[in-house]
Amino acid sequence: MNKVIRSFLFTSFVFSALLAASAISTNAQGPLGEILNRMDAHNKSLNFLKSSVTMVKVDAALGEANAETVQGNVHYIPKKGKTKMYARVDWVKPEENMIVVGDDYKIYRPTLKQGYQGKTSKAAKGNDRLAGPLGFLSMSREELKQNYKVVYIGEATVGGGAKTIHLQMTPITANSYKLADLWVDGNGMPVQAKVTSNNGDTTTILLSNFTKNGIIDYGVFSFSFPAGTKVIKS
């Protein structure tokens, strides 16, 4: 189930970065208020995102020298009004495909001919490691404002040379992770997210080579398990 957890964590990190922007109060003053306003405007204008993605996981006990790095591609349509959220992540190595439409998900591991399918809400409730990050997907604007403290850290350059503003979100109440850091570009788009678990493990997501909006091909989000796949429902 490790790869299932990895896929869900990726989904939660990126979507929390993309969705949380419009859920955080923009009443703050100074640099924080300005960047939150940009994030809110970007969130409202985003209809579709296609991007390369790099994920780096660091086990606190093993250190950065033993970090696990995986790369892939993502297609994403945010939930707006009655429109469901659509997401597809295709990891390159090790190969894995994940599709989320609304509350339904499918994950396929070609090398093992193994698949998973179920409800994201059920997976979150059934796994404490997922419950915190996945909570972003179902939280209302008010719940996010009530549960997270947002702090402006400063300017920073992330992988690929992108210049960003670094924000830090701290859960107000006890959670399965202690920090969520976001790096936001000048257009208000979060391009990097990092979540630090209570035990010190970290997962960092970087989006690059992205294109936004344009014509949407919903066929990208259609997926059927190939014949012979062992499907595990959860």
pLDDT exceeds cutoff 60 at 16: no
CA–CA dist 193, 13 (Å, integer): 6
Instruction: Look at residue 12 in the predicted model and tell me its pLDDT.
Output: 57
Q: Find the angle CA(213)-CA(88)-CA(48) to the nearest 5 degrees.
A: 10
Burial of 205 (0-12, 13-18, 19+ CB in 10 A): buried
Looking at residue 128, its pLDDT comes to 45
- Average pLDDT score, the chain: 80
Of the two residues 59 and 43, the one the predictor is more confident about is 59
Q: Hey, is 117 helix, strand or coil?
A: strand
pLDDT at 129: 45
Specify whether the CB–CB gap between 52 and 73 falls below 8 A: yes
Work out the number of other CB atoms within 10 angstroms of the CB of residue 197. 18
Mean pLDDT within 163-187: 86
What percent of the chain has a predicted confidence (pLDDT) above 70?
78
- Can you tell me the mean pLDDT for 159-171? 87
Within 10 angstroms of residue 54's Cβ, the number of other Cβ atoms is 16
Quote the pLDDT of residue 190: 85
Q: What are φ and ψ of residue 54, in 5° steps? A: -125, 130
Instruction: Work out the average pLDDT over 13-33.
Output: 61
- 219 pLDDT above the threshold of 60: yes
Q: What is the mean pLDDT of residues 113-138?
A: 63
